[in-house]
Structure 1
Amino acid sequence: MQRSETLEDFYRRYPNIYPQREGIPHKAVGNFNVYSRESCGKYAPYNRRDYYKISLIIGQGNLHYADKTIEINRNALVFFNPQVPYAWEPTSEKQAGYFCLFTSDFIHAPGNASILESPLFQIGGNPVFFIDKKQESHISMIFQKMLSERDSEYIYKYDLLRNYVNLIIHEALKFRPADSCFIHTTAASRIVTLFVELLERQFPVDSVEHTLKLRTANDYATRLSVHPNHLNRAVREVTGKTTTEHITNRVVQEAKALLMHTDWSVAEIAYCLGFEYPAYFNNFFKKQTNLTPRSLRK
């Protein structure tokens, strides 16, 4: 997890599976592409990508996402945010379905509403939606239209492809329980949204040279231009937890991911997460998890 994987890295990793199409400059298709998943039968490395991805998974495997592992044991629609590192570990021979890759530039075309504000791409949410046969058939049809349109000569095909991405997102939103879509109606909820976005923006830590800039509730309050007590009241009112609890939980989550998915030393991880000495990090981690960093890694 040394750096984010780019679209160019993706194409280089699969030169025989996803060759550059003749007559189409690589840059021209780099903002959007769609493929069949038949070739997804090998382990995809755990790291952060610099592109968004929507995948219709027909097959089984383990999705290592942030600091947790989600077992995919039936058909699923999965949404990947470039801010969250992940890896795919197939556990069944059959790997079918489709996936599309796109960058924020593709979505932020003139006159196009931002897809990226969808709750499906929110950091900290559950990216996996298990689907039934009827839903699978419907989503597959949309991906098939994407494949057909990708290779067409229609002058407005990228506008149409953006609409197909929007359609998949709206179909997925229908799968969500009605009460899972939260609309901010108070000043407190807006402050909490800004706090959570600022917190998540510090992660993931993808280099040993990367250190957290904001470590305390006071740091976040200063950056948001509010009094620490006001921030803490708002956070507790909306979430039931203190600002410090949220910061602590997120640091622990990142520590687990770094311990499990990198070969960095405990001292390097401690430094990246803002601890002056490894002993301070060891004490903090053991207090929060009842495990030492080394025991979790083993």
Structure 2
Amino acid sequence: MIYTAETTIPKYALEPDSATGNKFFRINKNDSVLHYRRSDFLVPHRKDYYFFAFVKKGSSRHWIDMTPYTLKDNTFYFTVPYQVHLKEETAALTGITLSFTRDFLAMDENDFLKNLPIIQNPYNGHELNLNEQDLAFVEDILEKIHAEYHAKHDWQHTMLLSYTKVLLIYLSRLYMEQFSEVNQFPERLLLKKYLSHIEDSYIRLHEVAAYAQLMNISAGHLSEVVKEQSGKPAIVHIHERLILEAKRLLYHTDQSIKEIAFKLGFEEASYFNKFFKRLTQQTPLQYRSAIREIYH
């Protein structure tokens, strides 16, 4: 389904659990065919929360942004807020899904959780392979979270946060092993903060100097450290985020190039066209035509 200029890709919040009333955190076990309405398929949408899925057995096909994923057994999948999801086909699924909001992460002290690699997702990954040891650990901690979520004990929230912290740390280790191609510097705090600011402000701020001012450091220092820690110039991270969002809108909506340019903070469509072509070797219209010809 392609959305018209008069509409936008819908964004869904985490619905409060009807049984517990929890609106920040949800865990569910799946052990059968998932039932969707026909209208749910091929409809792009965004989630404004983190969504994790441990797939014990499954073969459904889904898209995250412009990448298709056919689910594999004993594999862990994850997405971060505002990525574009699309269901292409479904099948029997056995596993556990976990959803939580930014507000849930904010309840942890010192912003530790929101700075973990599995949450920041600097390499734009969505799939983690699990060996036998990983499988046993992940399945066990998810079972503990599920049991605690449905129990009525004192300090339940603290227990859920503690179990989730252990899970996210473990998954972050796997993330760095499977996605990082270079040895990472301890914590990479400045790079993480920079990427987090980009995620929050890429539509409004397009220059490295603007982010440096936001972070109370010099543009030169920011550029030097980001290049050292990521292997990419600081401006490239801003450009990549803009291009990703542009591709989402070009693929999933029927908005004009001018409308997309304005939505992404460009004052002139002509400049957006030059920017997009310089980074992708295609004009926005050429990209839209080519990607739809391949996947529609």
- Tell me the TM-score range normalised by the shorter chain: 0.7 to 0.9
1:295, 1:273 → 2: CA distance?
A: 19
Q: What is residue 27 of structure 2 aligned with on the other side? A: 34
- CA contact under 8 A between 1:59 and 1:74: conserved in structure 2? yes
- CA contact under 8 A between 2:33 and 2:92: conserved in structure 1? no
1:4, 1:120 → 2: CA distance?
A: 22
Q: How much has 1:98 moved relative to structure 2?
A: 0.9
Structure 2, unaligned runs of 5 or more = 1-7, 290-296
- CA contact under 8 A between 1:282 and 1:292: conserved in structure 2? yes
User: In structure 2, do the counterparts of structure 1 residues 96 and 291 end up closer, same or farther at CA, with 3 Å as the change threshold?
Assistant: same
Q: How much has 1:268 moved relative to structure 2?
A: 0.8
Q: What is residue 252 of structure 2 aligned with on the other side? A: 261
Q: What is residue 208 of structure 1 aligned with on the other side? A: none
What does 1:280-295 correspond to in 2, within 5 Å?
Answer: 280-295=271-286
- CA contact under 8 A between 2:9 and 2:46: conserved in structure 1? no
Q: 1:217 aligns with which of 188, 205, 208?
A: 208
Is residue 66 of structure 2 the alignment partner of residue 60 of structure 1?
A: no
SS in 2 for 1:56: strand
1:162, 1:253 → 2: CA distance?
A: 32
**TM-score of the superposition, structure 2-length normalised?**
0.75
Q: Any idea what the Cα deviations from partners look like across 1:118-145, whole Å, max 9, x if unmatched?
A: 2211143323212245644543343333
User: In structure 2, do the counterparts of structure 1 residues 90 and 6 end up closer, same or farther at CA, with 3 Å as the change threshold?
Assistant: same
SS in 1 for 2:12: coil
Q: Report the identity percentage.
A: 24
1:50, 1:104 → 2: CA distance?
A: 9
- CA contact under 8 A between 2:29 and 2:97: conserved in structure 1? yes
User: In structure 2, do the counterparts of structure 1 residues 242 and 92 end up closer, same or farther at CA, with 3 Å as the change threshold?
Assistant: same
Is residue 68 of structure 2 the alignment partner of residue 51 of structure 1?
A: no
1:261, 1:171 → 2: CA distance?
A: 34
1:60, 1:155 → 2: CA distance?
A: 39
- CA contact under 8 A between 2:9 and 2:252: conserved in structure 1? no
- CA contact under 8 A between 2:46 and 2:83: conserved in structure 1? yes
**TM-score of the superposition, structure 1-length normalised?**
0.75
Q: How much has 1:30 moved relative to structure 2?
A: 1.7
- CA contact under 8 A between 1:5 and 1:47: conserved in structure 2? yes
1:231, 1:165 → 2: CA distance?
A: 32
How many residues of Structure 1 are paired with residues of Structure 2 in the alignment? 272
Is residue 269 of structure 2 the alignment partner of residue 278 of structure 1?
A: yes
User: In structure 2, do the counterparts of structure 1 residues 132 and 60 end up closer, same or farther at CA, with 3 Å as the change threshold?
Assistant: farther
Once the two structures are overlaid, the 10-residue window that deviates more, 269-278 or 194-203, is 194-203
Structure 1, unaligned runs of 5 or more = 12-18, 204-211
1:275, 1:89 → 2: CA distance?
A: 31
1:197, 1:113 → 2: CA distance?
A: 12
User: In structure 2, do the counterparts of structure 1 residues 147 and 184 end up closer, same or farther at CA, with 3 Å as the change threshold?
Assistant: closer
1:223, 1:113 → 2: CA distance?
A: 18
Q: What is residue 147 of structure 1 aligned with on the other side? A: 146
Q: Any idea what the Cα deviations from partners look like across 1:35-84, whole Å, max 9, x if unmatched?
A: 123454544854432322221123124443345444433432123322x4
Q: How much has 1:270 moved relative to structure 2?
A: 0.9
Q: Any idea what the Cα deviations from partners look like across 1:69-125, whole Å, max 9, x if unmatched?
A: 44433432123322x413153545222211122234434447798433322111433
In angstroms, what is the RMSD of aligned CA positions? 3.3
